[in-house]
Amino acid sequence: MQFIDTHTHLYLPEFDQDRDQVIKNAMDHNVQKMLLPNVDSTTINPLMDLVKKYPSNCFSMMGVHPTSVRVDYEKELDIVESWLKKEKFIAIGEIGMDLYWDKTFQKQQEEVFRRQLNLAKKYNLPVVIHARESFDEIFKIVDVEMDDRLTGVFHAFTGDNNQAAQIVHWGFKIGIGGIITFKNAGLDKVVRNIDINHIVLETDSPYLTPVPKRGKRNQSAYVHYIAEKIALIKEISIEKVANITTDNAKQLFKL
């Protein structure tokens, strides 16, 4: 039984004291591969250092997170493309829109998202989409940009049945994380209707820690709590959840 954590920020300062132990712990819990989305230009070096240290286990993405989008976004996009030209990445990510905290840079977020979708097409890479309080805005852009070169995953999915159906219709995967274990999230009812062939597992660690570890720092080893919950909802074995979601991730990210 093997898992892939398709979304973890192991390079962040939250793991500076025990990063090697956290990775060992993940491997001890059958998580052999951990996929690392970038945040912005300040996180590239720690991310790349980690990938160099664990080339068989940690895999890098390149992109600008929506909450890092400011007026100087052109500079950030230039840095992203300069890295895409010189290194190998498994995806463009994490990209998207976040209108939860602040709508000041909404127009810039839309532009940066659109530009990064086009980078994904140019470099033949999947995208990892962050959608927070922004499904409508993101869907409008994806609808315009959609063609047979565009593929990816909506990470940390919190949408409804209709949104899930649209994502599947586009041929995208749906990233399910710790929120599935939260009592009042209601995500379990939506996941019940999503074919498991469209699902990948993720932690988004150090954030969104699943029950029963909620309140503590999240880590890749906790993927199995998410898998257990999906197995319960789908009434299938955890081994089957592991096998199918791992195959889905390998296929999407060409691992």
- Provide the CATH number for the domain around residue 162: 3.20.20.140
Q: Model-level pTM greater than 0.85?
A: yes
Q: So what's the pLDDT on residue 142?
A: 98
Residues spanned by the domain of 101: 3-253
Q: What are 79-92's pLDDT values in tens digits?
A: 999 999 999 999 99
Positions of the chain with pLDDT lower than 70, given as ranges = none
Cα-based distances in Å from 81 to 62, 64, 120, 138, 254: 9, 11, 10, 22, 20
Q: Give the sign of the dihedral formed by CA 131, CA 133, CA 136, CA 140.
A: negative
DSSP H helices, the chain, are 19-28, 44-53, 73-86, 106-122, 135-145, 161-169, 187-191, 223-234, 238-253
86: Cβ–Cβ under 8 A, 6 or more apart, which residues? none
Distance CA 148, CA 134 (A): 24
Q: So what's the pLDDT on residue 217?
A: 98
Q: What are 16-70's pLDDT values in tens digits?
A: 999 999 999 999 999 999 999 999 999 999 999 999 999 999 999 999 999 999 9
Q: What are phi and psi of 108, to 5 degrees?
A: -65, -40
User: Greatest CA separation found in the chain?
Assistant: 49
Helix (H, G, I), strand (E, B) or coil at 199: strand
Q: So what's the pLDDT on residue 101?
A: 84
Q: So what's the pLDDT on residue 202?
A: 98
Provide the number of structural domains found in the chain.
1
Q: So what's the pLDDT on residue 219?
A: 98
Q: So what's the pLDDT on residue 214?
A: 96
185: Cβ–Cβ under 8 A, 6 or more apart, which residues? 158, 179
Among the listed residues 53, 88, 8, 9, the one whose alpha carbon sits nearest the alpha carbon of residue 254: 88
Q: So what's the pLDDT on residue 79?
A: 98
Q: So what's the pLDDT on residue 130?
A: 98
Q: So what's the pLDDT on residue 210?
A: 98
Distance CA 110, CA 141 (A): 8
| Burial per residue of 45-61, b for 16 or more beta-carbon CB atoms within 10 angstroms, e otherwise | ebbbebbeebeebbbbb
